[in-house]
Structure 1
Amino acid sequence: MRSSVKALREQGVWSVEFTEAQYDLLVRSMVTFLAIEKERFARVVTVGPRAEELDAIISGAERVHGGKAVIRTSLDDIHMIHSMLVFLPTLFTSEEDFVTRVGFFKENVAEVAAGLKRAIVRTAVDV
């Protein structure tokens, strides 16, 4: 899984582009996270005060050429997505259980989280 994620920032709005596989990983990770962390306060502690909007943010991605998906949102929402990706693997003691539930390896989730962070930092420095 490629860890390269693209990001742009225009007038305070971030556009983050994920490959088709990365977006699939993002959706599956979110579905798994929401299914396991059912309590509102558990979600808030993990991803922040707007945790109930996580589904809408990710599901609201615009599909573009080549199956890619672009999420246009705030830096706070990007932080929420990143937090969810970093936290999710800690909910599983075995790689096998994680793969069965999410459909990807823990290292794939870590790569996308790291790629997202790199893209945001790189873009913030360039602006």
Structure 2
Amino acid sequence: MKKSNVRYVDILSYDVIESNYRDICSKTKHRNKIVKFDMFHAINVNSIFNELANRKYRHSNYNIFLIKEPKYRIVMSEGIRDKIVNHIVSNSFLKPALYPKLIEENVATRVGKGTNEAIRLCKKYFCRMMNKY
């Protein structure tokens, strides 16, 4: 695999943390986590930055709860701090390294692809098989 040009020190900045935080805020359904984080916003962002800069960051415990409708499911969710760090790692390292290697048919959780793209690909291959056999 080709070595990535992105370096750890290049993505370690307050702007990167803030932009990922804003992205998480726009997609979070339960606002109480956001409100708690925002009460001490500057302290939390500075804490994340310092832990990453000193390479002392540790993932905290998951929030585990049970959903009963429509069936019983155990749900594990992360706190806002962990979501921010996961977004930073994903956007800065994983996506640039992995996306060029993925096949066209892999549409799950990819930007610009989804259900409609999956349906289009299914129709394409179904028609190809019908014509072939």
Question: Could you say which TM-score interval applies, normalised by the shorter chain?
Answer: 0.3 to 0.5
Greater strand proportion: 1
Q: Which has the larger radius of gyration?
A: 2
> How high is the TM-score relative to the length of structure 2?
0.31
User: Larger relative contact order (C-alpha < 8 A, sep ≥ 6)?
Assistant: 1
> How high is the TM-score relative to the length of structure 1?
0.32
Greater helix proportion: 1
